[in-house]
C-alpha cells in the first residue's frame, strides 16, 4: 500500500497540479483512499458534506478494486476546469461481465452489501465507466461544488505524478481558455512542463514556468515559449510542450525538449510530434510552430517522458475509445516510468462555430466532443 498525496490549496492561487495516488494492494488502502479524498476536497474548498461524499466515492471505488480486481490504483485531484474533486480508479482485471447487474443494489459476488458502484453513480456529479471483460476497468467520478459553472468547450483531463517514493514533482501542467465562444473564435492553450531532473530543483523550475504561462497564455506560441525561457534562466531549465487548439479544425504545436504530442482518434494515433532539441531556460532554439489537423472527435494528448511513448505503437481499440479522464488514468497506470516524474494531459478538439444566421443574430457555441459524458454507464463491446 502506498500513496503520494501532495499539498493542495494553501494560499490563494491555482491549486496543485500534482495528483495523489493510492495503490490498492491491500484492503487497508481503502481507508487511505478515503482520507486522501476527504483532505483534497477540504483543501479545494468544497463546502458542507461534500468532503465526506468525496471520501465515500474514493472508499467505494477502492473497496471495489480490493474485493474484485487486481493491480489497481485510485488517483485523487482537484478538477482541472472548475471547483471540485476528481477520483479515478483503474485496475487490470478481470473486468465487469454484467454492468447492469453490477449497478443493482444488493448484487454482489463477495457476500457483502453490494452497493458500491450504484452508490458511486448516485453520489457523483459526473460518472463515467468503461470495462473490458478479461482485461480491466477504469472509472471517473467527479464531485463539483454547488453552482459551479458548466464547462465551456471540450473536456480536459490530466494526471501529474512524482517519481516513486518522492513528494516533490518536477512536472506540471496548466490550461487557459480564451475568447468568447458566442462572439469570436475560441481557443484553448495547454502546457506541459518537465523540469530538468527531479526533486525540489526540478519542481522549482516547473512552478516558475507555470507562473510565466499564466501571465500571458494568449501570446503567440513562439512569444509564449520565449517568455518561459526568460523566466527559467535562473533555474535548472525545463522541457516545455505547448498546444493551442483552434475552432478551425487545427491545432498549433510548439515544443522544446522531451514533451510529446499526439492526435488520437478511434482509428488510431494519427500524428506523433516531438520537441525540438534543447532546454528552455538554457539553450533553447528558435521556437518552431507546427500546424496539425484535428478532426472532430479526436483527442489531443500531451505528455512528458515519464510516460513511455511506446503506448502509441499498437494501442488497443479499448484505449483509443476512452474519453479524456479515463485515457489519462490508463496511460498513467500502464505506461508510467516510475523512476521519473510523469504528466499526461488529454483534451477534446474544438469544433468550428456555425456561420452567423441570416438575420444577423449572435452565434452560439455548439456541443463539442470530449465534453463530460452522461451519467449512464457505457461499455465497449
Rounded Cα–Cα distance for residues 371 and 361 (Å): 26
Rounded Cα–Cα distance for residues 135 and 263 (Å): 25
Closest CA to 174 of 216, 232, 146, 138: 216
Q: Which three cell numbers stand for residue 133?
A: 471483460
CB 241, CB 191: distance < 8 Å: yes
Sheet holding 187-195, edge to edge: 171-178, 187-195, 238-246, 250-256, 290-293
Strand, coil or helix: 75 = strand
Closest CA to 139 of 261, 51, 33, 254: 33
Q: Which residue(s) pair with 156 in the sheet? A: 347
pLDDT at 126: 95
| pLDDT tens-digit profile, the chain (381 residues) | 444 433 333 333 455 689 999 999 999 999 999 999 999 999 999 999 999 999 999 999 999 999 989 999 999 999 988 899 999 999 998 998 888 777 776 545 444 433 578 889 999 999 999 999 889 999 999 999 888 877 778 999 999 999 998 889 999 999 998 876 555 668 999 999 999 998 999 999 999 999 999 999 999 999 999 999 999 999 999 999 999 999 888 999 999 999 999 999 999 999 999 999 999 999 999 999 999 999 988 999 999 999 999 999 999 999 999 999 999 999 999 999 989 999 999 999 887 655 533 333 333 333 333 444 434 344 343
pLDDT at 102: 76
CA max distance for the chain = 64
Closest CA to 127 of 59, 118, 154: 118
CB 232, CB 196: distance < 8 Å: no
CB 168, CB 340: distance < 8 Å: no
Residue 223 buriedness (CB in 10 A; 0-12 / 13-18 / 19+): exposed
Cα dihedral 256, 18, 201, 341 in deg (nearest 10): -60
Chain centre to alpha carbon of residue 75: 11
Q: Which three cell numbers stand for residue 237?
A: 531549465
CB 89, CB 65: distance < 8 Å: yes
Amino acid at each position: 500500500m502506498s500513496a503520494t498525496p501532495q499539498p493542495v490549496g494553501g494560499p490563494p492561487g491555482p491549486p496543485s497540479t500534482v495528483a495523489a495516488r493510492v495503490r490498492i494492494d491491500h484492503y487497508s488502502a481503502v481507508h487511505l483512499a478515503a482520507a486522501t479524498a476527504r483532505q483534497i476536497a477540504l483543501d479545494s474548498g468544497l463546502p458542507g458534506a461534500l468532503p465526506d461524499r468525496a471520501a465515500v466515492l474514493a472508499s467505494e471505488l477502492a473497496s471495489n478494486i480490493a474485493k474484485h480486481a487486481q493491480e489497481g490504483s485510485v488517483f485523487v485531484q482537484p478538477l482541472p476546469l472548475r471547483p471540485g474533486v476528481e477520483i479515478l480508479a483503474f485496475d487490470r482485471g478481470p473486468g465487469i461481465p454484467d454492468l447492469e447487474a453490477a449497478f443493482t443494489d444488493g448484487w454482489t459476488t463477495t457476500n457483502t452489501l453490494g452497493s458500491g458502484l450504484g452508490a458511486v453513480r448516485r453520489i457523483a456529479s459526473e460518472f463515467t465507466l468503461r470495462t473490458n471483460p478479461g482485461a480491466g476497468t477504469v472509472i471517473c467520478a467527479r464531485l463539483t461544488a454547488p453552482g459551479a459553472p458548466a464547462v465551456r468547450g471540450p473536456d480536459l483531463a490530466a494526471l501529474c505524478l512524482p517519481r516513486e517514493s518522492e513528494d516533490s514533482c518536477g512536472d506540471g501542467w496548466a490550461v487557459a481558455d480564451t475568447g468568447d465562444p458566442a462572439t469570436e473564435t475560441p481557443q484553448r492553450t495547454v502546457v506541459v512542463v518537465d523540469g530538468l531532473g527531479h526533486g525540489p530543483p526540478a519542481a522549482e523550475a516547473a512552478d516558475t514556468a507555470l507562473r510565466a504561462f499564466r501571465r500571458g497564455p494568449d501570446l503567440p506560441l513562439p512569444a509564449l515559449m520565449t517568455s518561459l525561457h526568460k523566466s527559467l534562466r535562473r533555474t535548472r531549465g525545463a522541457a516545455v510542450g505547448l498546444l493551442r487548439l483552434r475552432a478551425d479544425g487545427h491545432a498549433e504545436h510548439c515544443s522544446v525538449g522531451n514533451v510529446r504530442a499526439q492526435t488520437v482518434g478511434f482509428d488510431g494515433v494519427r500524428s506523433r510530434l516531438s520537441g525540438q532539441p534543447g532546454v528552455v531556460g538554457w539553450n533553447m532554439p528558435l521556437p518552431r510552430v507546427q500546424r496539425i489537423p484535428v478532426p472532430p472527435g479526436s483527442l489531443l494528448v500531451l505528455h512528458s517522458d515519464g510516460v513511455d511513448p511506446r503506448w502509441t505503437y499498437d494501442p488497443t481499440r479499448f484505449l483509443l475509445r476512452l474519453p479524456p479522464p479515463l485515457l489519462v488514468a490508463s496511460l498513467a497506470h500502464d505506461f508510467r516510468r516510475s523512476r521519473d516524474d510523469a504528466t499526461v494531459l488529454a483534451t477534446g478538439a474544438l469544433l468550428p462555430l456555425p456561420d452567423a444566421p441570416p438575420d444577423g443574430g449572435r452565434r452560439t457555441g455548439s456541443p463539442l466532443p470530449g465534453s463530460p459524458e452522461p451519467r449512464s454507464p457505457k461499455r465497449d463491446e
